[in-house]
Homo-oligomer: A and B are copies of this chain.
Amino acid sequence: MAAAVASLYRRVLPSPPAVDFASPEGKRLFAEALSAGTMEGFFSLISCFQTQSEPAFCGLASLAVVLNALAIDPGRRWKGPWRWFDESMLDCCELLDKVKAQGITFGKVACLAHCSGAKVQSFRANRATINDFRSHLVRCVSSQDCHLIASYHRKPLQQTGTGHFSPIGGYHAGQDMALIFDGARFKYPPHWVPLPLP
């Protein structure tokens, strides 16, 4: 006999603090941020937004999305004749099997981004203020050639899970909220979160 193992269809997004991207309030935030010019990076980013293919691949998926959004040529094939970044190709700084079992560290994601051909600037929360973070974020969301991947803990957002990586797809200055494109799309939809919280 085998015990029944529960399976899940998504989780309810704890809101507040998050605001669902596709809710009326999420759409309002989006339209306002679009008008304000802080959604410039959004277009290329969501054109490449992808579901993470393994529960512990949030770092690799975030990076594959951003590398494709930046139109960086991986210089090797993905499938058929096509060159395109996929999580399975991000294997230069850490063994994929190890990432699959344990996830990946902040430093290794930065290493992978660098060795995949991106220009990387990394900022650690304990060595930067929220104002530093906000100014980097505003610079990225206001341009098309820069994307920001955040490494954060899900707990302050009242979400299940622990450490997580997600690309940030936009910023609403008036309400000081960032738009998180969570690669665990089978769990949570994209959502806006208050910047001071995570």
> Interface of A with B (CB < 8 Å)?
5-10, 21-22, 26-27, 30-31, 34-35, 43-44, 46-51, 53-55, 68, 71, 73, 76-84, 144, 185-187, 189-190
Are B189 and A47 touching (Cβ within 8 A)?
yes
A47: chain B residues at CB < 8 Å are 21-22, 49, 185, 189-190
- A81 touching B8 in the complex, CB below 8 Å, given contacts A22-B44, A43-B27: yes
A117 to B125, CA, bound (A): 45
A185 to B82, CA, bound (A): 10
* A34 (CB) vs chain B CBs: closest residue: B31
Known: A43-B21, A73-B9. A187 touches B82 (CB 8 A): yes
Which 6 pairs across A and B sit closest by C-beta, in order of nearness?
A22-B43, A84-B186, A82-B186, A9-B73, A9-B83, A55-B80
**CB <8 Å contact, B185 and A8:** no
Question: B residues within 8 A CB of A27?
Answer: 43
Pick 27 A–B contacts, CB within 8 A, sort by A. A7-B76, A7-B77, A7-B81, A7-B83, A8-B83, A9-B82, A10-B71, A21-B43, A21-B47, A22-B44, A22-B47, A22-B144, A30-B43, A31-B35, A34-B34, A44-B189, A46-B49, A47-B49, A48-B51, A49-B49, A50-B51, A53-B79, A55-B79, A68-B185, A79-B186, A82-B187, A84-B185
Residue of A31, A44, A186 with highest tally of chain B CB at under 10 A? A186
**Is B79 a contact of A54 with CB atoms below 8 Å?**
yes
Given A22-B43, A27-B43, A34-B31, also A48-B185 (CB < 8 A) = yes
**In the complex, chain B residues whose CB is within 8 Å of the CB of A22:** 43-44, 47, 144
Closest to A51 in B: B50
